[in-house]
Amino acid sequence: MSSNQTKTNFTLRHFKNGDQESLVENGNNIKIFNNVKDTFPHPYTYEDASWWIEFCKKVDRPVTSFAIDVNGQVAGGIGIIIGSDVQRVTAEIGYWLGEKYWGQGIVVEALKQMTSYAFQTFPEIVRLWAAVFEHNKPSMRVLEKAGYEFEGVRKKAVIKNGVVLDEYVYVMFRE
Contact yes or no for 15/74 (Cβ under 8 A): yes
Residues 11, 6: Cα–Cα separation, whole Å: 11
| CATH code of the domain in which 19 resides | 3.40.630.30
pLDDT at 6 over 50: no
Name the CA dihedral angle for 107, 113, 116, 120, rounded to a multiple of 10 degrees: -130
SS3 assignment, position 104: coil
| Cβ neighbours of 59 (radius 10 Å) | 11
**Residue 144 lies inside a defined structural domain of this protein:** no
Residue 29 belongs to some domain of the structure: yes
Tell me the pLDDT tens digit for each residue of 36-95: 999 999 999 999 999 999 999 887 779 999 999 999 999 999 999 999 999 999 999 999
Section 10-37 average pLDDT: 97
Instruction: Give the total number of structural domains in the chain.
Output: 1
Q: Is the residue at 80 inside a domain?
A: yes
Residue 140 within a domain:
no
Assign 1 a pLDDT band (cuts: 50, 70, 90).
Answer: low
Q: What is the pLDDT of residue 60?
A: 72
Rounded alpha-carbon distances, angstroms, from residue 132 to 11, 16, 42, 93, 154: 24, 28, 19, 11, 10
On the question of pLDDT at 5 being above 70, the answer is no
Q: Hey, how many other C-beta atoms are within 10 angstroms of the C-beta on 104? A: 16
pLDDT at 4: 41
The pLDDT, as a whole number, for residue 175 is: 85
Residue 103 included in any domain:
yes
Per-residue pLDDT of 125-158, as tens digits, reads 999 999 999 999 999 999 999 999 999 999 999 9
Owning domain of residue 65: 2-126
- Mean of per-residue pLDDT scores for the chain: 94
Domain presence at residue 175: no
* Burial class, 137, CB count within 10 angstroms (exposed 0-12 / middle 13-18 / buried 19+): exposed
- Domain assignment present for residue 161? The answer is no
> What distance in Å separates the CA atoms of residue 25 and residue 27, rounded to the nearest whole number?
6
165 found inside a domain: no
